[in-house]
Amino acid sequence: MSGTRPQLRRSRFHAIPLALSGALLAVSPPLLVTPTAWAQDVQAQYSFDIPAGTLEDTIAVFSSVAGVTVSYEPGTAQGRQSPGVRGRFAAGTALMLLLDGSGLQAVERQAGSYTLHPTQGNAESALQMSETIIMGQGMGEMTENSGAYTTGLVSVGSKTPVSLKETPQSVSVITRQLIEDQRLDTLPDAMKRTPGITVRNGSYNSQQFYSRGFPIDNLQIDGAAPMDIGTGIGTFYSNRQYDMAMYDHVEVLRGASGLLGGTGDPGGIVNLVRKRPLDHYQLKLETSAGSWDNYRSEIDLTGPLAFDGRLRGRMVAAYNDRQYFMDNRSTERPLLYGVLEADLDDATLVTVGGSYDKVKQNGTGDGLPRYSTGGDVHLPRHSWYTTNAAWADSYTREYFAKLDHYFNENWKFNTSYTYSYNGSTTEGIIPYGSVDETTNTGPYWWGSYIDSWSKQSVFDLNLSGHFDAFGRQHELLLGADYQKVTSRWRSAQGMVDKGGLIDLWDPSSTPLPSNESNHNFFRDYSPNTREQYGLYSTLRLQLSDPLKLVVGARAQRFKFEQAYSMRNANGTGPWVEQDRVSDREPTTLIPFGGLIYALDDQWSTYASYSEVFKPQAQKFKGPEASPSSIEPMTGKTYETGIKGELLDGRLNVSAALFYTKREHQAATDPSYPNPPFSYSGSCCFVAQDKVTSKGIDLEATGELAPGWEILAGYTYNQVHNDTEETLYSTVTPKHLFKLWTTYTLPGDFAAWRVGGGVTAQSPTYVSGTAYRFDPSGNVIDSRDYDFSQSGYAVYDALVEYKVDDHWTVAVNGNNLFDRRYYASVGTSEYGNYYGEPRNFTLTLRGAFD
């Protein structure tokens, strides 16, 4: 018997994992379907829903779904039973499951063709479920070489690979193909393209991510323990950009994520999935040149190294040298990433690796000022107020190790450790102060010399598996994680004689800071440490054929230490401690719950409840002799929606209604309305503010038709401060729409691929108090302001040509209609950043295997 099906567009890769099994076992064709082949099969996967039955019937269905041929002698399958298979698997994986207990083994004669034979006595050559399968924690499904804009499995919010349809929260994926098509070089670039996410400049170098009106404080790497990205409680300072050359894809969960994400705001969490060594040799080259002298090169080499392919490696190098549309601004960013993966035996996988990246920047300004009333000064887009003497250097070293071990076909143990160190030195010269509407003066030169470093260690271990009870199969995850962040931040006056008002229209006529620099520190944060550790568990109960219950909980403890000291402004004299913060939160229980109801094989509905909490260690209660921190903020997200996995999993669609409430945010204690200013712990606050966010998320990602890929997302979001009865978020727009699509032309034009997209959003609002200064930096007056960034739409496009089997050339065009807008709005004094004008990038890529 046999079954056939038209080949998938990605069929070029589907035979690779089965070919690997021969190399690992040092045998010649015919190749045996082995657990090791299953371990490495990360390219072509299919959705199966084959019930238990006769082996003949289940094989017939399998052949039709997977598009392969299965042959056997008459009578071989007669009278034999199969347990069936349900889920998304590679062809070899599904066939192994179907043959479990049948006494038969499969032999691959050629790509897409198998023959069944009775199991032989040789344990290594037989198809046996007693052998185990290796799959790394947090990997989900690798997207490299798939050509797809979606993936079948994700691990954000679960730590174990789960389909998007069975994840009861909103999750978006930026695949490797999307990263390449849209030239997303850094994590902020990828987040700008992610549905429902708003990206705001925190400085010239750092970006903050917002979801549903709240910050995203944490990220995971390969689904491990949460790491700080520098927007949480003030203990972590980092200029790291997270170069996308070393990652396969990005997973973004929106909503409260305290179960596996630790402390933070209820915005969500990001999971970066590293590139893994492949089972075959592959070399990829990339070089590009863009507007404003933006040059970038990458090289990516991977393949088996030794021991018949049981040791595999990968090395990635990238270098970016660019200038900007702004004056006096340039950056160099080299990156080196290496990883080794070894099969110690058929049940144990060990992964070790590390990376080093460096950022060298010139022209470290901090955005543009506005009028003191909030009005736009309408400065030229290339305006960037700094000098050639302003610079910033930083680097990051990261090391990691992981171990995955299968005890049997049901249970797996995982442990991982990551150490990251970031050092940074900055000579800052920036404008500060709002602009007078009459004189067009007000901003003056400001800045300091800053030296900082941060290191964090994260450790995670867990046990996951499935078990049978009450006639059904269920899943359990038990684990523990630990995070420690230690940092130090020191500053000096930097360039002397910085004072002086800036002529915004002719800054070169303004007296510039002296080249002489004072590097004697007079401000210091040390110690500066945060620790959190917790125990977590999730249980996925199959209550009935269509209904699944997911329950979970995290028990967490938190500790924060910080001291702030000063000495004379010229950096002399003894250090005097100004403030000290010491906060320890008792064990906090964070619950999670979700229901998933399968309407049919393609559609499911869900409802979920999730929590998170965030200590406010630097906000003190009333002026007590021994000040204590107010209680933590808490966040809760209620979400319900529907998800579809269509076209054999090639297209994922979703619609969600969400309601998030963040309570106990610090507010000024009315009994002490004018507390003294402090750079560290400050008084006096009460935990009373309540902010609510509600709206709808719509998303579609994947393949609409052969050769036609799409990522589309629309978010409607209302964020409100219930305490003050005002609009809360000044960052998140009410309406946010993102679309990107590509299409491979048919017939004689199949070498061409075209794409285009748009990012559109409604207005955002900013309010606050503006200050004006005299030439010596003294405050002249202050006034309230209220201004908005108008809604805008930015259009992008792609044209790609496949030169031959190895080389492609592509042109990306961004902001095609040259829309003038602010990508980030800050205050009247600083922090307003224009979006990039129209620009183009030419990219040449080569792939060899």
pLDDT in tens, 768-793: 777 666 666 567 777 777 788 889 99
Average pLDDT, integer, range 595-615: 95
Q: Dihedrals φ, ψ of 128, to 5°?
A: -130, 130
How far, in Å, CA of 817 to CA of 760, rounded? 13
State the pLDDT confidence band at 640, using cuts at 50, 70 and 90. Answer: very high
State the pLDDT confidence band at 734, using cuts at 50, 70 and 90. Answer: very high
Domain edges within the chain: 45-115, 274-378+393-848
pTM for the model: 0.84
Q: What is the pLDDT of residue 75?
A: 66
Q: Considering only 38-47, 64-73, 614-623, 696-705, which range has the smallest mean pLDDT?
A: 38-47
Average pLDDT, integer, range 70-80: 73
Q: What is the pLDDT of residue 621?
A: 84
Contact between residue 199 and residue 188 where contact means Cβ atoms under 8 Å apart:
yes
CA torsion sign, 830 to 370 to 666 to 226? negative
Q: What whole-number percentage of the chain has pLDDT above 90?
A: 53
Contact between residue 31 and residue 293 where contact means Cβ atoms under 8 Å apart:
no
Contact between residue 575 and residue 550 where contact means Cβ atoms under 8 Å apart:
no
Q: What is the pLDDT of residue 44?
A: 59
Which distant-in-sequence residues (6+ apart) come within 8 Å of 344 by Cβ? Answer: 350
Q: What is the pLDDT of residue 120?
A: 52
Tell whether omega for the bond before 83 is within 30 degrees of 0, i.e. cis: no
The CATH class that applies to domain 45-115 reads alpha beta
CATH number corresponding to 274-378+393-848: 2.40.170.20
Q: Say whether pLDDT at 552 is over 90.
A: yes
Among candidate residues 15, 60, 11, the one with its CA nearest the CA of residue 33: 15
How far, in Å, CA of 583 to CA of 617, rounded? 6
Same fold, 45-115 and 274-378+393-848: no
Burial 757-794 (b: 16+ CB within 10 A, else e): bebbbeebebeeebbbbeeeeeeeeeeebebebeebeb
Average pLDDT, integer, range 114-122: 66
Q: Considering only 1-5, 433-437, 659-663, which range has the smallest mean pLDDT?
A: 1-5
pLDDT in tens, 342-390: 999 989 999 999 999 999 999 888 889 988 888 899 999 999 988 888 8
Q: What is the pLDDT of residue 27?
A: 31
Tell whether omega for the bond before 161 is within 30 degrees of 0, i.e. cis: no
Contact between residue 478 and residue 159 where contact means Cβ atoms under 8 Å apart:
no
Average pLDDT, integer, range 504-515: 76
Q: What is the pLDDT of residue 58?
A: 87
Q: Say whether pLDDT at 228 is over 90.
A: no
Which distant-in-sequence residues (6+ apart) come within 8 Å of 158 by Cβ? Answer: 167, 223, 260, 477, 538
Q: What is the pLDDT of residue 100?
A: 82
SS3 720: strand
Mean pLDDT, all residues of the chain: 85
DSSP states of 28-45 as a string?
PSSEE--HHHHHH--S--
State the pLDDT confidence band at 138, using cuts at 50, 70 and 90. Answer: low
